[in-house]
A and B are shown apart, each in its own frame.
Chain A
């Protein structure tokens, strides 16, 4: 989805708050992190659907509630969507219920843990090959950021096969496929004023890519 989470290349946030290197700021944050780990390990849903739940947080609230506030909102939404709790249970909790838009289709139960898969099919692309990313704007979950759509890059390395988040987040199957580290020149992504001696490597699923002639 073209969501607020897709931050790469945005302006206006200012300097990185490097002095804040705490991993958690309060005990509830690390307990919530553990709680989400347990829920995912026991099959509430899969990691892709969890990431998508966070993306579905109302964009007007996404930054204001903070990192662990997003985890809380995402977990709450999934507990209701998966039928573990009733919406009334959440309404009865103290504090604010953050609005999360619905998932279409709904998040599935987790099937197999982990994302790495063995597949018979050979990789379609080889290291060194030029590829173009698809200009795709799905309303559901995807891991192709906006800043890298319709861009030409070069395969830096071929990774093993992984579950495709775009379908797995919505219960539409694992569709495991090879992932490629694809290197893009900064100028290809961000225009002529970008750093001539910088590049960005993204890990992209085979179905995000098409061959480039020549």
Chain B
């Protein structure tokens, strides 16, 4: 559970909030202000159509196609459009590229802005006050705590999404993946890699 939940304050427990949220939806429906089928449709869209598999496709394509990679870094929105990706919350996408010298990591310290069209809904830790408060100030320490130890010589660039621009990290292609086809490359690209709190790794054999 995220550190935010249930510290024993005198607030409603999550199940009471669930009851209240459901009652609010029922009230809006009863007043003729809401069609619950529209809510169902959007929930299905969240569950079936969007998610980190979309971003992983973008990254894998950039790894195998140098021209696409150049277009992606030049104009992220147009390039993901070539793969049929677009949508609300991602009017203007900027893709930032990791290298041996530079590591990029994305946050939204003011709320929890996130590139929905390529990564889907944000995970709990990304929305946590722990991440939002600390990664802007001590990124190297936070990344190490999250399992990504970076060499002291690597420059860290934090992108705090304070406007409507959304950021996606293009990680480095791992060594030893030259023979892998594009779909298998995409399998190596996790959500955390595209936020910048992890890097892609080959599965260990054995």
Contacts and interface: CB of A to CB of B under 8 A. Distances in A.
Interface string A8-51: 11110111111111111111111111110110000000000001
Given A13-B129, A144-B162, A201-B159, A34 B39 contact: yes
A63 to B, nearest CB: 5
A17 B17 contact: no
A9 B165 contact: no
B16 interface: yes
Nearest to B145: A15
Contacts of A204: 162-163
Counting chain A residues whose Cβ lies within 8 A of the other chain, the interface size class is 35 or more
Contact of B165 (A63, A114, A179): A179
A16 B136 contact: no
Interface string A156-182: 010110100100000000000001010
B111 interface: yes
A68 to B, nearest CB: 7
A61 to B, nearest CB: 6
B23 A93 contact: yes
Contacts of A203: 160-165
Contacts of B49: none
B41 to A, nearest CB: 8
A28 B18 contact: yes
A17 B6 CA distance: 14
Nearest to B38: A38
Given A38-B39, A51-B111, A17 B12 contact: no
B65 interface: no
Nearest to A194: B137
B23 A94 contact: yes
A35 B25 contact: yes
Contacts of B47: 30
A116 to B, nearest CB: 5
A199 B39 contact: no
B39 A145 contact: no
A143 interface: yes
Contact of B19 (A32, A95, A116): A95
Interface in A55-94: 61, 63-69, 72, 75-76, 84-85, 89, 93-94
Given A17-B3, A143-B162, A162-B163, 19 more contacts: A6-B109, A8-B136, A10-B133, A14-B3, A17-B1, A20-B2, A23-B120, A37-B88, A38-B42, A66-B4, A69-B12, A72-B17, A93-B20, A189-B136, A199-B156, A200-B157, A200-B158, A200-B160, A204-B162
Interface of B: 1-5, 7, 9, 11-12, 14, 16-25, 27-28, 33-34, 38-39, 42-43, 46-47, 88, 91-92, 94, 109-112, 120-125, 127-140, 142, 145-147, 152-165, 191, 197
17 contacts: A13-B129, A16-B135, A16-B145, A17-B130, A18-B197, A31-B21, A35-B39, A65-B12, A67-B127, A72-B21, A93-B20, A93-B23, A95-B12, A115-B164, A143-B163, A181-B94, A205-B163
